[in-house]
């Protein structure tokens, strides 16, 4: 189990879903965490639940001043920032590319991509002079292939992947690692809204996500938190510029090959077959 003992972390979008699971797991593994979110009531409740190792700060990740304030809060409350997790996200604008509202597009990109950029920028500013630190972002399987999400979401998550690799290239020499996790469909209020139409019905969402999974089970937010914990730890000290896909094989090994169930046969020239 990767330890985060003594580390200081800031997790955006941490009042619910993957962010909340990450905040809890990081504290369990020894870190102190600042929960940054626009959802004040659940954010404060989570900080109270976790206890002395957590603080809540209201932050809109699309606003640069809010990101700067969140990092300053982490450092004033707990000490130098060791881990930045750019997790805050929305599904954003949906619809045909021919009909999308441009302002809604901009608002979606502002949260999903600008937010990750601002978090990376300001975390790097405090980490680089110290020669250490870890910056993590939540991408998506929609960021590694097309057709899995709405257009603005897909574009933004592809951008997060590019940002991760580009920032890692610049910051590696100063000892700052930059990585991303690309979850497949993970049980949360957001995916419940997509799969069931009801953000509160996570149980039905888990059932439907599991039915569609190559491995037959739904991904839990805690599993994505575990991937982040590994990348944040010294166990991953030589991992940077990497996008860790956690999707039960949906993008890299889907069970769609027509050959898997065939009797062992050798296919030779011009399609001729001989049995082995």
pTM: 0.93
What is the reported pLDDT for 265? Answer: 80
What is the reported pLDDT for 72? Answer: 98
Q: What is the 3-state secondary structure (H, E, C) of the chain?
A: CCCCCCCEEEEECCCCHHHHHHHHHHHHCCCEEEEEECCHHHHHHHHHHHCCCEEEEECCCCCHHHHHHHHHHHHHHCCCCCEEEECCCCCCCCCCCCCCCHHHHHHHHHHHHHHHHHHHHHHHHHHHHHCCEEEEEECCHHHCCCCCCCHHHHHHHHHHHHHHHHHHHHHHHHCEEEEEEEECCECCHHHHHHHHCCCCCHHHHHHHHHHHCCCCCCECHHHHHHHHHHHHCHHHCCCCCCEEEECCCCCCCCCCCCCCCCCCEEECHHHCEEEC
pLDDT bin (cut points 50, 70, 90) of residue 66 is: very high
How do 265-267 and 243-246 pair as beta strands?
unpaired
Asked if residue 184 lies in contact with residue 247, where contact means CB atoms within 8 angstroms, the answer is: yes
Query: Is residue 275's pLDDT more than 70?
Result: no
What is the reported pLDDT for 46? Answer: 98
Over residues 240-246, mean pLDDT: 97
Q: What average pLDDT is seen over the chain?
A: 94
What is the reported pLDDT for 256? Answer: 81
Over residues 47-74, mean pLDDT: 98
Residue reference for tokens 């510029």 = 241
CA separation for the pair 178, 133 (Å, rounded): 9
pLDDT bin (cut points 50, 70, 90) of residue 156 is: very high
Query: Is residue 257's pLDDT more than 70?
Result: yes
Domains of the chain in sequence order: 8-184+219-275 (3.40.50.720)
What is the reported pLDDT for 234? Answer: 96
Query: Is residue 270's pLDDT more than 80?
Result: no
What is the reported pLDDT for 271? Answer: 64
Give the catalytic positions in this structure: 153
pLDDT bin (cut points 50, 70, 90) of residue 238 is: very high
What is the reported pLDDT for 276? Answer: 59
């Amino acid at each position: 189990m990767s330890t985060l003992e003594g580390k200081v972390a800031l997790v955006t979008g941490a009042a619910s879903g993957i962010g909340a699971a990450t905040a809890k797991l990081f504290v369990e593994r020894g870190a102190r965490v600042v929960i940054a979110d626009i959802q004040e009531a659940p954010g404060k409740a989570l900080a109270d639940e976790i206890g002395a190792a957590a603080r809540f700060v209201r932050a809109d990740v699309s606003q640069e001043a809010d990101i700067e304030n969140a990092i300053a809060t982490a450092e004033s409350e707990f000490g130098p920032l060791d881990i930045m997790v750019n997790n805050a996200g929305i599904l954003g604008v949906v619809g045909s590319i021919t009909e999308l509202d441009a302002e809604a597009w901009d608002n979606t990109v502002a949260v999903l991509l600008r937010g990750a950029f601002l978090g990376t920028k300001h975390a790097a500013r405090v980490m680089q002079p110290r020669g250490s630190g870890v910056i993590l972002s939540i991408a998506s399987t929609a960021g590694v292939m097309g057709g899995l999400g709405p257009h603005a979401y897909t574009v933004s998550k592809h951008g997060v992947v590019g940002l991760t690799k580009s920032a890692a290239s610049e910051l590696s020499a100063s000892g700052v690692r930059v990585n991303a996790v690309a979850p497949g469909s993970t049980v949360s209020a957001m995916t419940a809204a997509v799969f069931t139409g009801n953000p509160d019905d996570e149980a039905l969402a888990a059932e439907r996500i599991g039915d569609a999974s190559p491995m037959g089970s739904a991904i839990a937010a805690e599993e994505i938190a575990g991937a982040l914990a590994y990348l944040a730890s010294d166990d991953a000290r030589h991992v940077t510029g990497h996008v860790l896909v956690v999707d039960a094989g949906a993008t890299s090994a889907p069970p769609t090959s027509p050959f898997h169930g065939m009797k062992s046969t050798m296919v030779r020239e011009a399609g001729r077959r001989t049995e082995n």
